[in-house]
Structure 1
Amino acid sequence: MQRMGWVIGIDPQHIAEYKRLHAAVWPAVLQRIHQSQLRNYSIFLREPENLLFGYWEYHGQDFDADMAAIAADAQTQRWWALCGPCQRPLQTRGPGEHWAAMESVFHID
């Protein structure tokens, strides 16, 4: 299992919409996330900085293939079309990243 954290900005005008969307995530999107071996997926909001922090635990063997399966899913693409305009990717994100990956520096069970 691999713990992963991600960060992205959010347009303050879209915070209410983003919360509304995530209060009722489509079952097909949730199923695809589960099929791609993501568990304990959470998104946190930090205001007034307007940052979203995402966390999940990856339980698969081929992260790139599982993420490609999510990206290829038609329902997920529709979901992203709604959520994407709410987000503001960080200028410092890595190549090919929408959400910027974070380094794990501490963990305790």
Structure 2
Amino acid sequence: MQRVCFQLQVRPDRLEEYKRRHAAVWPDMVQALHETGWHNYSLFLRPDGLLIGYLETPSLDRARAGMAARDVNERWQAEMAGFFEDLGAAAPDEGFLELEEIFHLEDQLEALNNTEAK
């Protein structure tokens, strides 16, 4: 399972509306995310608008492609695009900055246990 962490910047003047929109995401959008492999998906928002997202998926490329094929995603991305800074022409789900994972406790524990077992 691929773990993905990403960041975006929400416009400071749109923070409250952004939070309201995510308190009631469209049911068909929620279902589409689930069906296309966006698991354990969370968004975290700092008061200055820094948005951090996290998800687990068998393949980010397949999860993105699956959502790109859904009409609901096209509508959602169009509505959300105005909330973000520095996207250029990209949709939010394509324009985020993916962060490099440098530590995962379970991976470290597994490596340690494998070393000890030898």
- Which of the five TM-score ranges fits, normalised by the shorter chain? 0.7 to 0.9
Structure 2: unaligned runs, 5 residues or longer: 89-93, 107-118
Matched, 1:68 2:75: no
CA distance in 2: counterparts of 1:18 and 1:52, whole angstroms? 11
Q: Following TM superposition, by how much is the alpha carbon of 1:90 offset from its aligned partner in structure 2, in angstroms? A: 6.5
CA distance in 2: counterparts of 1:76 and 1:7, whole angstroms? 19
What residue number does 1:101 align with? 98
1:5-37, Cα deviation, whole Å (9 max, x unpaired): 010111011111110110001111111111111
Matched, 1:81 2:83: no
Name the structure with the higher helix share. Answer: 2
The residue matched to 2:105 in structure 1 has which SS? Answer: coil
Matched, 1:47 2:47: yes
The residue matched to 1:105 in structure 2 has which SS? Answer: coil
Structure 1: unaligned runs, 5 residues or longer: 92-96
State the number of aligned residues.
Answer: 101
The residue matched to 1:104 in structure 2 has which SS? Answer: coil
- TM-score (normalizing by structure 1): 0.83
Larger radius of gyration: 2
Between the two structures, name the one with larger relative contact order (CA 8 Å, sep ≥ 6).
1
> Residues 30-41 of structure 1 correspond to what in structure 2 (within 5 A)?
30-41=30-41
- TM-score (normalizing by structure 2): 0.77
Q: CA RMSD in A?
A: 1.7
